[in-house]
Structure formats: C-alpha cells, structure tokens
Amino acid sequence: MPITTPAGYRALAEPDVAGYLAGLPAIAARLGGAPERWRVREVGDGNLNLVFIVEGPDGAVCVKQALPYVRVAGEGWPMPLERAFFEHRATIAQAPRVPGLVPEMLHYDDELFLMVMERLDPHIIMRKGMIAGTFYPQFAGQIAEYMAQTLFGSSDLAMPAAAKKAQVALFCANTELCKITEDLIFTDPYMVHARNRWTSPQLDAAAAAIRADAPLKRAVSLLKLKFLTEAQALLHGDLHTGSIMVTDRDTRVIDPEFAFYGPMGFDVGKLLGNLLMSYFSQDGHERRPGERDAYRDWILATVDEVWNGFARRFVALWDGPRAGDAFPPALFEGADGAASLRLAQAAFLRALLTDALGYAGTAMIRRTLGFAHNADFETIADPDRRAGCERLNLELARELILQAPAIAGWSEVTARARELRARGPRFPG
C-alpha cells in the first residue's frame, strides 16, 4: 500500500535543492553567489531522513527533510513526517539555553517537513570518532552543560506550570517516535520478536538468559512505565554518540526528533550507556592488545566527568534565579531553608542517578539484542571477538538495571566496567 503524504509534500532530490533554497533570501545570502554555483550532496546515513549539504561561495547549510517511512526499511515501515516538526520545535525550545551546543536553525518548512540548519564543519559523528580512538577533551564539560541546561530549563524547576504544561501538550503528539522507544528499547529485547537480532550463535544463550530473567523484566517494565508517565523535562529522546557531532573543541547535539516530556534520567542514561558500550567495544578495535588502554581510561574518566559536571551545573541552575513553580523559594528561606534545599537537591539527583543507571542498562541491552545495533560493536568484523565485547556489555547492563538503587555513583560503575573487562566474559553464552 503506497504511503499517502499531505498536500504540498514532495521528497526533494539533489537537483531540486538549489532551486528551493534560492527562494529563501536569508539562506541564499548566506550561501552567496548564484544558485547554479551551489554544490549539493545528499549525505543521509540512510536511517530516517534525507540530508543535503549545500555549499556556496560564501557559506554552507544543511538541509534535512523527513521521509514518510524508515529509509533503511523502505515503505513497509511508515514513519510520520511530523517528526521534523518536533525536531524543529525541540531545537527552538532548547537553543536559547544552549546556543553553541546545537546547530543553528535557519528555516523550517511545514509543508515539506524540512529544516535548513547551519552546516557543521569539520564536525564528525562522535561515534565514528570514538571507534577511531579520537579523544574529545572538551566533550564532557560541553555535554554536561547541554544536559543540565536543557533538562533543568524545561522542567518545573525552571518553567511556570502553565508554560510547561503547554510544552508537554505539544510534544504529547509525538507518539509514534515515542512508541519506537517503548517497543524497541523496553519490550522487544526481552521477548522473542522477529525484529531482534544478535551475534549468533555466540550470544544465543545470553539472549535466552535475558528473556528468562523475571526480576530484570520487571525492573525494565518499571523503567518503561516511568518513560510513559513522568513528564519531568523535554528530552532529546535519542541522546547517544550517534546524535552528537564533534571536533576536538566543539560539541553539537543534533537530531532531537524523538523529543518529548519524559524522565531526565533517560537522556543522561542513554548517553552514558553509549559511552560504556564504546568502552567495551575498544577491544574489538585495537590492532594490538593494550593499544587503546589510554583511550579506555579517557572514556571511563569521561563518564565520571559528564555526570559530575551535569550534577554540578544542574544544582547551580537550581540555585540561580528561576521562574519554576516547583520548590517555591518562599518555602526555603533563611539558613534552615538553604540547608533544607541542599537536602532536596541531593535527593533529586540521587533519584535521577538511579533512573539514569537503569536507562543506561536498557540502552546497552537493546543495542546488543534488539533491532537497532550500533557501529561500536557492528564494525568489529570477527564475531567471536565482537561477542566477547557484547557479553561484558550485557553483564554490566543487567547489573545497572537490577542494582541501580544500591549503586553509589558512576565511579562505582566505571570501576566495575574495568573489573569485568579484566576478568573477561562469564555471562551465559
């Protein structure tokens, strides 16, 4: 059955792009010169969207257009065009708080479901850089700032209730992308499902053990419930190293099309879980044992720094001037009030930590046993070697989910990751 699209929608091809942009004076001025001289390349990585890089004599832009289906799966898996609308709205909601940490949004076309953004150059997708073993010394501080600003800034701590509820209502409509998360992260990997895959036969027993693990499935179901109900903050919704573009100095978060109001720990956990996956995958990428030792140390140090920086900035924002209705300042006046607020902040961050640990674990399992895998593991050609990395990843993930409330902090997690790697795989399979 062919997919029907709204009137006015057409998917652009490379030859259409310059003509389209020529009709947008601000964009045309940015590119400079005559449209015939603009160079257009389609560079979408094939998942969900068309992505064009357009270069003119004076500047360059990135054009991103939603397709009405999952590009990698073809028309058999329809996907709402409105995700471009939500990406646009999430970007303009976040940009004022994190102007240097997201691409500048230059234009949105609500008929074509198309955005024109700043072209990021010489940025690359962080996941690719990490597979190559590249250090990003500014990353921890910058992503901590991004998360603290966007999560705090969209919460009831920062926004008056009516304004926040209006945003919640807006993003409630992004149901189909939320459902992808609900199914692919929290459900499918824990049951027999045609969309699942894993390194087989090496991980067959491990996958079966996960499917048979009743306490794990109960804990994951509770994380799913929290994802469905807890409208804490406007999440990016897919914050991993594949949604981050970097240079050695700059960090930009892209692709917030999964944006919706959910639990803060989901963004934080997904990101840190992806760093842990990168850690375990390094054994598959080094050309001689130990070659990536320093890089592994950097990854784990980065996990700690991201959380610590995030927590510090989050509390600093909370301590600053703010318009939110939660924790009314009038109830926390004087020395007693200040001390009480410290306790409230510590309790809030402890709850956020627990959530993040659990969500990190779910991100690590879904990338090993579910539909969508990541290049960290996938680019390890030798299946035995890959399975060895993935097995450690599953083992830590399970511990994160089951033991989250008892884990003191991310330094305990990074120590445990190191310990598991030193010990070697033991998890079933």
Rule CB under 8 A: which residues touch a second copy?
Answer: 155-156, 161-162, 164-166, 168-170, 172-173, 175-176, 178-179, 182, 187, 190-191, 212, 214-215, 217-218, 220-222, 224-225, 228-232, 325-328, 330-332, 336-337, 339-341, 343-344, 347
CB 218 to a second copy: min, Å: 5
CB 115 to a second copy: min, Å: 24
Q: Toward a second copy, which CB reaches closer, 4 or 229?
A: 229
Q: Toward a second copy, which CB reaches closer, 73 or 168?
A: 168
Q: Looking at this protein, which amino acid is placed at residue 260?
A: F
CB 137 to a second copy: min, Å: 36
Question: How many other β-carbons are positioned within 10 Å of the β-carbon of residue 289?
Answer: 8
CB 19 to a second copy: min, Å: 37
Contact 256, 238 (CB under 8 A): yes
Q: Toward a second copy, which CB reaches closer, 104 or 183?
A: 183
Q: Which residues contact 339 (CB under 8 A, 6 or more apart)?
A: none
Residue 46 backbone dihedrals phi, psi, to 5 degrees: 95, 5
CB 338 to a second copy: min, Å: 10
Question: Measuring CA to CA, which residue among 395, 359, 377, 369 is closest to residue 188?
Answer: 369
Q: Toward a second copy, which CB reaches closer, 181 or 302?
A: 181
Q: Toward a second copy, which CB reaches closer, 160 or 201?
A: 160
Q: Toward a second copy, which CB reaches closer, 217 or 236?
A: 217
Pairing of strands 251-253, 39-42: unpaired
CB 229 to a second copy: min, Å: 5
CB 261 to a second copy: min, Å: 8
Q: Toward a second copy, which CB reaches closer, 1 or 330?
A: 330
Q: What is the 8-class DSSP label of residue 190?
A: G
**Which SS3 state, helix, strand or coil, does residue 217 take?**
helix
Question: Measuring CA to CA, which residue among 14, 62, 63, 55 is closest to residue 32?
Answer: 55
CB 167 to a second copy: min, Å: 9
Question: Measuring CA to CA, which residue among 77, 86, 85, 15 is closest to residue 47?
Answer: 77
Q: What is the chain's alpha carbon radius of gyration, rounded to the nearest angstrom?
A: 22
Question: How many other β-carbons are positioned within 10 Å of the β-carbon of residue 418?
Answer: 14
CA dist., res. 420 & res. 400, Å (int): 13
Tokens matching residue 415: 């120590």
Instruction: Give the length of the chain.
Output: 429
CA dist., res. 161 & res. 183, Å (int): 30
Bond from prior residue into 201 cis (ω within 30 degrees of 0): yes
Contact 276, 360 (CB under 8 A): yes
Q: Toward a second copy, which CB reaches closer, 26 or 162?
A: 162
Q: Toward a second copy, which CB reaches closer, 81 or 115?
A: 81
CB 232 to a second copy: min, Å: 5
Q: Toward a second copy, which CB reaches closer, 231 or 244?
A: 231
Torsional sign, CA 132, 137, 142, 143? positive
Is residue 379 exposed (0-12), middle (13-18) or buried (19+ Cβ within 10 Å)? middle
CB 359 to a second copy: min, Å: 16
